[in-house]
Amino acid sequence: MKKKIIVIGGGFAGLQFIKNLRPGLFDVMLIDRLNHHQFQPLFYQVATSQIEPTSISFPLRKIFQDRKDVTVRMAEVLAVDPQTRCVTTTAGNFTYDELVIASGGKTNYYGNSDLEKHTFSLKTTYEAIKIRNVILENFENILNANGKADEGLFNIVVVGGGPTGVELSGAFAEIKRDILPKDFPGIDFSRLKIHLLEGGDHTLNTMSPLAKKSSEKYLKELGVQLRTGVFVRNYDGSTIQLSNGELLESKNVIWTAGITGNIISGLSKDIIAPGARIRVDRTNRVPGYENIFAIGDIAYMETPRYPKGHPQVANVAINQGKNLARNFTRMIKGRKLSEYEYRDLGSMATVGRNKAIVDLPLVSFHGYMAWYFWMFLHLMLILSVRNKLIIFINWAWNYFTKNSSLRLILKVNS
């Protein structure tokens, strides 16, 4: 009888693990609270009305419709019982022989409930659509206020100067300059300010000096109000309190400043590492559990090169998934498991049209070539040919027209 594997999470790690398992060797069940895989690197383009959410969302059942050994359950995982080898979900209980946890991460508010309540996060397609709806609706409210709009509606604040924060700020600055004045000629857009707040000394702090310098230069050229070395102490939905004592009025605060793991109840507290991640050995096995593995953002693997764990990026998740899939084949054959070693292929970020920064192992560059490189790589990572084509057409249309027709406020009435 074939062993049953349960995979929790259909992100980059879980998806690549299943896709690289040799068909027919196992019975695989994928459990995810969503029915689709999300391409997170382009969430910011959904939030700023540059592409449609369907372009970066891929139904899990469609992905695996040709795999008779894979079943999909849309459910929330509530707990794991390692003793009975059972996963408890909102759709019932499921038993396993091997468990792979690829539950990823969520926004880290560092224990501040007010920030969690009042700010917007950008970790799901739904959240990207919500940001798009709220921002566009605010401009309608500004127009309807007949010159008496709350000043907070004119401030869009992005917290966190990593790639997501930089890309989001640059995109907002571009639509402010090129698109919104055409849609809302009755609004004085000189009053609209895009603020980027970063607690460190520079934006893109984990990248090269060239990336830090270039990103800040590009953001300032686009008119983004950049503040570094400041933290958000609190936010009540109207006023941001900064660590330097400054108060900033805003109704639109987007939090991209941290990530914490989606820990599942039932595992020993001894295996929980900093950042709410699950400790794993070099084969991604969870210590103390012979048949439980963790991969991707949720996994905390210490190596000589990365004594504080690997960076929580797509490349790590994808390759841990692939390596673990190969190791499952080795287990069946009684062969020694292969240890995972992260090979850093570089990092990148785009700040807007013709403006991007790319760090490769041997060289860093920015500008036009970096922007083309960024677009090519992201297109290659998109799952289907159809979606690659749709996104490419959208990008080309936006590039030549400086406009799009995707500024829709989509809501479901209760």
d(CA 295, CA 371): 30
d(CA 381, CA 379): 5
Confirm if 294 and 101 have CB atoms less than 8 A apart: yes
Q: Where are the domains of the chain?
A: 4-33+75-107+259-333, 113-257
With a cut of 70, which residues of the chain have pLDDT below it?
A: 405-406, 412-414
Q: Which residue in 49, 408, 362, 355 sits closest to 213, CA to CA?
A: 355
pLDDT at position 412: 58
d(CA 363, CA 376): 18
d(CA 214, CA 217): 5
Q: Which CATH number fits domain 113-257: 3.40.50.300, 3.20.20.70, 3.30.930.10, 3.50.50.100?
A: 3.50.50.100
Residues 6+ away with beta carbon under 8 Å from 101: 8, 9, 80, 264, 278, 286, 292, 293, 294, 295, 298
Q: What is the pLDDT of residues 210-262, one digit of tens each?
A: 999 999 999 999 999 999 999 999 999 999 999 999 999 999 999 999 899 99
pLDDT at position 405: 64
Q: Which residue in 308, 302, 265, 304 sits closest to 287, CA to CA?
A: 302
pLDDT at position 1: 80
pLDDT at position 410: 73
pLDDT at position 376: 92
Confirm if 12 and 299 have CB atoms less than 8 A apart: no
Identity of the amino acid at 398: N
d(CA 400, CA 16): 35
pLDDT at position 414: 43
One DSSP character per residue, 221-241 reads HTT-EEEES--EEEE-SSEEE
pLDDT at position 252: 95
pTM as predicted: 0.92
d(CA 317, CA 15): 10
pLDDT at position 408: 76
Structure-token match 């038993």, residue found: 95
pLDDT at position 385: 85
Confirm if 208 and 201 have CB atoms less than 8 A apart: no
The CATH H-level superfamily of 4-33+75-107+259-333 is FAD/NAD(P)-binding domain (3.50.50.60)
